[in-house]
Amino acid sequence: MRKLLALPCVLALSACGFHPLYGPQHGQSATVAARLDEVDIGLIPDRQGQLLREALESDLQRAGAPSYYRYHLAVSYSINVQIIGIQQDSSNTRNRYLATAQWTLTPEGNRTIPVAKGTASAMDAENVIDNQYFQATLDNGVMRHQLAREIAHQITAQLAIYLRAHPAAGS
């Protein structure tokens, strides 16, 4: 029964011009996913930068590292902390983490001319509980991984949109 209900939805989407972001468009042979595989990710400093780079590699290079890079992605990444819960003794009880990344895509042969730029941001928060240092450290690590994954997903989507709109860019 579900398959019968899904068929009209698929037909309606195709009639309105909807195409999957990572699939081929209008007879193009290279999919956006294949073009994302051609993006070399530059080094990002610090441990939080490592987490973001790993998340980007997971999103962009789905078939493993390619033999040819057409683009270079440079990313500036930072996480800022805001104390949003304060007790009467001035100790904090809740922190908000704001992660932001600015990225620039350049052709691999000439890294001085950007072809696309963008910004990604994500937010998370944690409760600070007295005498729970081990748990707080674990929670903080998990939260930093989640922030990196969210930023990576946003950057990947922005790159995919750019590459879909510019099929001959960087050629």
How many Cα atoms sit within 13 Å of 135 on the Cβ side? 7
* Better-predicted residue by pLDDT, 127 or 100: 100
Q: Residues 163, 36: contact at Cβ < 8 Å?
A: yes
Provide the pLDDT for residue 35: 85
Provide the pLDDT for residue 7: 61
pLDDT in tens, 65-84: 677 889 999 999 999 988 88
pLDDT of 56 strictly over 80:
yes
Provide the pLDDT for residue 72: 95
Q: What is the CATH number of domain 27-165?
A: 3.30.160.150
* Better-predicted residue by pLDDT, 161 or 138: 161
Domain residue ranges in the chain = 27-165
Provide the token pair at 14: 């195709």
Provide the pLDDT for residue 86: 76
Cα dihedral sign for 62, 65, 68, 71?
A: positive
